[in-house]
Amino acid sequence: MLAIIITGHGDFARGILQSAEMIFGKAQKVKAVTLSANESVEDLANHYQAAIQSLQPVSEILFLADLWGGAPFNAASQLVQQNPDNYAVIAGVNLPMLIEALDSQEQPLATVLPRLEQDGRSGIRRFDGRTSTD
Q: Which residues are catalytic?
A: 9
User: CA-to-CA distance for 95 and 120, rounded, in angstroms?
Assistant: 8
Shortest CA distance to 97 belongs to which of 16, 25, 1?
16
The answer to whether residues 18 and 31 touch, using CB atoms and an 8 Å cutoff, is no
Beta strands across the sheet bearing 30-35: 30-35, 2-9, 60-65, 87-91
Shortest CA distance to 9 belongs to which of 30, 43, 33?
33
